[in-house]
Amino acid sequence: MTAQLIDGAAIAAEIRRQVAGGVARLRERGIVPGLAAILVGDNPASISYVSAKARASDEVGIRARTYHLPAETPQEELLALVDRLNADPEVHTILPQLPLPPHIDERAVLERILPAKDADGLHPWNLGKLLRGDLDGAIPCTPHGVQQLLLRTGNDPGGKHVVVVGRSTLVGRPLAVLLTNKAPGANATVTICHTGTPDLGLHTRQADILVVAAGRPRTITAEMVKPGAVVIDVGTNRVDDPSRKRGWRLVGDVDFEAVREVAGWITPVPGGVGPMTIAMLLVNTLRAAERVAGLPPSSFAPTP
């Protein structure tokens, strides 16, 4: 058996078309959704990510601004910029590109953003709303993207055993909460594991849906996967590859070639979860602008 490939790029394009429709309706009311991205330093990966987010915003009609600050920018100066953006009515969401330089407290920056302008859904207020099952706020982008991948391929997590490998506040923990909510597209039984879990394969082999966000290549091998399982690989790791002109390539946390012969569905890296994260950032920006306009937030939870 060879797994069916989950084309995250195609599904993300479908979501962007939906977002563009919502943006067009707001523009008819004289409201242009605005996203402000803050980039501190010259990390090549961060520059690439912010550029991709700006291009995606332009594609759907969202006004994107990028504030590129030197790596040595003091924390207080960054917080002052956040304050100005909080007060700017043309800015509906604010995105500080992570990671920030070591001298800046990421938590302080995320908590300085108004919850209503939280692009990534990582403010404690929005994480708390998610925990109590209130989904009308900003939902963390990568977990929301994973849920959309499942729903839009007919793999509703309801009643399924989902195993999440990874416990970060960026992916693992909010995804577990999202999928255990008593709501359409959720209602799963979720087990959270991590790289310190003894006999990790004992748990992963029980998964109907396996989501891997461990940040380590080849964390999941073929013998750790239940035949026919859905495998969502969130990892993005750069590994040496002398055969490539640039000398490296991107891989996930899953041994893709081996696992695809066992799984029923699998995401590639790149082209799987990555495009979905950007798409859900656009969703959060649209929904923030809709709240300002007094409109109910658009739904992005299709019935499989």
- Among all residues, which ones are annotated catalytic? 53, 97, 120
Query: CB count, 10 Å around CB of 101?
Result: 16
Q: Positive or negative, the Cα torsion across 100, 104, 106, 108?
A: negative
**Is residue 270 reached through a cis peptide bond, with omega within 30 degrees of 0 on the bond before it?**
yes
Contacts of 74 (CB under 8 A, 6+ apart): none
What CA–CA distance (Å, rounded) separates 257 from 147?
24
What CA–CA distance (Å, rounded) separates 267 from 231?
7
Query: CB count, 10 Å around CB of 115?
Result: 16
